[in-house]
Structure 1
Amino acid sequence: MDTNENNGLGRASYTDEEQKESKRGKRKGLDARIPKDLPTETIIIDPDEVLAHPELYKKIAEVRTEKLDVTPTHFFRTVIIRNKYKKRDDRSIAPLIAPAPKQLIENSYASTGLVLHIILSKYCDHLPLYRQEQIFKQRFGVEISRKTMGGWMYLVAQWLSLIYEALRNEIRASGYIQADETFIKYQDPKKDYCPNGYLWAYHSPGKGVLFEWYASRAATCLDSMLVDYAGLLQTDGYAGYTSWLNKKSHAKEKAAIIHAACWAHARRKFREVPGNPTAEDIVKRIAKLYRVERKLRNNPDLDPAAYRREHATPVMEGIKTILETERFRQLP
């Protein structure tokens, strides 16, 4: 299931027309590809003859050439000096000194900028700490052990836990959660290979996305997010979700949760029976649902609920009628 979609249709059944629209068009100009608010450095180059005798020449035009430049990462020291003063005419008064600036990490040489750089490199650019340690030493001659950086990351994670839990509560209170899971390799010192761990993603449209990491794909990983949750739960066809809901210990949650499936996965089953008139009919009807959602995406002023009731509900009822008819036909 695609957790970035808030309509349950997934992304697998776009029509050919939609696919054509998504193809890359002409290459954008430089102005469109580079932010306009980038700092600009202007270099003016005049001929040596003009520099030698400027009074003999008059500027008539200019030729501009634009380049995109970058300043590589560079380290620098920040030295904070707090001067201490005593009053000249009254030695009984204690010396004065300005209070020390607040530090991100007490008694540490790490500045906010350094910690931020390490965080972005690790979690956005996928540079593990050991690789950053090597880059710092080999490229800049700065030695920061990955153990030290790991300690900084742990502190930051503890500070962010309050925001994390607040986001969890907000998503759970929304009444609409899209859940999905994807594997990610992790290192286990006890094993000679990198096993699969799993990031469980919980998305609530308009609220945000929460990620939980587990070394397993077991249904019990859902406990921390779904116990005592009430509302709509949209998932793909992974059996772990239905298994979790069907457990007797989760009877209360099963009654409070409405389990919604993903149209991309439902459509896939009908695509797996080519040549079947009923299956082909269902696929065409699902395509109509995608057109409804495309209309809503392209027209944000429309009322999604009202538009779906008018255009998607009849399609859904038609699909339901076909499936119920086919089910009774298959009964002995």
Structure 2
Amino acid sequence: MKEIGAYPIRQELLFIPAQLKRLNHIQHAFKCQYCSQRSLSDKIIKAAVPKAPLNHGLGSPSLIAHTLYQKYELKIPDYRQESDWKKMGLEVSRQMLNHWGLKSSEYYFKPLYDVLKQKLLNRPILHADETYYTVLESETIKTYYWVFLSGKHDRYGITLYHHDPHRSGQVALDFLGNYSGYLHCDMWQAYEQLPEATLVGCWAHVRRKFHEAMPQNASGKCIARQGLNYCNRMFCLEKAWESLDCQTRYQARKEELRPLMQEFFEWCRKNKATVFAWF
């Protein structure tokens, strides 16, 4: 038979399982024969070898990086990783996996975090928020995660997380120090401890107060619904201007958003007995 053509019929994807390979680093030593013949001591030079990411362990950069990816991105805890690695022939304890994560953070991530923090504190506009997290599935033991990030329209965005057992103003003061720019936050009293920052209220939190106060099936005369509608109108304008450059957006805000905000604040003063009770 003579082949007269070939046609693609179907495609399929192959899965190639991960592999573990032992890489032996061998250091070569060299001796100068000429020096040895004319000197009482030998001149020995050792070749350079790649530095281990962590001392006294089998963890290579790729292996350690993969364990961190599994733990923090895929949410696979150390004890499950320990079992999976054992099936692949690697006897590594969960204590060692945890050690790799801690030391990698200390040696490599902490210096990077410090550099990013320094750059973040030089930005003219920052956002901040905090939320609690229950530890060990207990309803009584709480810890707090704080987030500090640069403005939305910065060319290079920076987002940093900070863990602390407390939600006090000292935490914000320790992190932000004498930051003197605009800080966009929910006006939690902790941020009032900052001596130099200019606090800017968050409209999302304002809107949430009206949403929480609005009963089900509220009519158009409901004060909470009216406040929510004001916020929605402002949010719609901002959404429409999202792709504009800063100067054009600023001009649009002066022409369209400012009158709407003035109307909103006048409405708040008119209904202050009800509205102010929600804040």
Which of the five TM-score ranges fits, normalised by the shorter chain? 0.7 to 0.9
Measure how far apart 1:213 and its partner are: 0.8
Matched, 1:149 2:94: no
Q: TM-score, normalised by structure 1?
A: 0.67
Separation of aligned partners in 2, 1:291 and 1:329: 25
Match of residue 225, structure 2, among 280, 285, 293: 280
Cα distance in 2, alignment partners of residues 316 and 98 from structure 1: 71
**1:89 to 1:228, Cα distance in 2 relative to 1, 3 A:** closer
| CA–CA separation in structure 2 for the residues paired with 1:219 and 1:286 | 29
Q: Which amino acid aligns with 2:251?
A: A
1:214/1:105 CA distance change after superposition, 3 Å: same
Counterparts of 1:1-332 in structure 2, within 5 Å, are: 56-59=2-5, 61-84=6-29, 92=37, 94=43, 97-137=46-86, 139-159=87-107, 160-187=109-136, 195-205=141-151, 206=154, 207-236=157-186, 241-245=188-192, 250=193, 253-254=194-195, 256-271=196-211, 272-273=213-214, 274-275=218-219, 276-299=221-244, 303-327=248-272
The size of the alignment, in residue pairs, is 262
Give the structure, 1 or 2, with the largest relative contact order (CA under 8 Å, sep 6 or more).
1
What is the CA–CA distance in structure 2 between the aligned matches of 1:215 and 1:98, rounded to whole Å? Answer: 49
Query: Counterpart of 1:326 in structure 2: which amino acid?
Result: N
**SS class of match (2:143):** strand
Letter of the 2:123 counterpart:
S
- The letter of the residue matching 1:198 is Y
Which amino acid in structure 2 is aligned with residue 242 of structure 1? Q
CA distance in 1, matches of 2:94, 2:272: 60
CA contact (8 A) 2:144 2:164 kept: yes
Paired amino acid for 2:170: T
**Structure 1: unaligned runs, 5 residues or longer:** 1-52
RMSD of equivalent CA atoms: 3.2
1:104 alignment partner AA = P
- Greater Cα offset, 117-126 or 298-307: 298-307
Residue pair 2:149, 2:158 contacting (<8 A) in 1 also: yes
Alpha-carbon distance in structure 2 between the residues aligned to 1:166 and 1:57: 65
In structure 2, give the amino acid aligned to 1:261: G
Distance in 2, matches of 1:329 and 1:134, equals 59
Q: Distance in 1 between matches of 2:140 and 2:273?
A: 49
Give the residue type in structure 2 aligned to 1:124. Answer: E
Aligned counterparts of 1:98 and 1:79: Cα–Cα separation in 2: 15
Query: Which string of whole-angstrom CA distances, capped at 9 and with x for unpartnered residues, describes residues 276-332 of structure 1?
Result: 35543333232221122211234568733233223222211111122223338999x
Task: Tell whether the 8 Å contact from 2:167 to 2:190 is kept in structure 1 after alignment.
Answer: no
Structure 2's unaligned 5+ residue stretches are none
1:278–1:149 Cα change, 3 Å: closer
| Identity between Structure 1 and Structure 2 (%) | 21
* Distance verdict in 2 for CA 1:147–1:194, change over 3 Å: farther
SS in 1 for 2:179: coil
Deviation, 1:144, is 1.1
Aligned equivalents of 2:24, 2:226: Cα separation in 1:
72
What amino acid is the match of 2:51? K
- The residue type paired with residue 324 of structure 1 is R
Find the residue that maps to 2:126 and give its secondary structure: strand
Q: 1:292 to 1:84 in 2, by over 3 A?
A: same
Once the two structures are TM-superposed, the CA of residue 208 in structure 1 deviates from its matched residue by: 0.7
Tell me, in whole angstroms, the C-alpha distance in 1 between the residues paired with 2:182 and 2:45: 62
Amino acid at match of 2:199: H
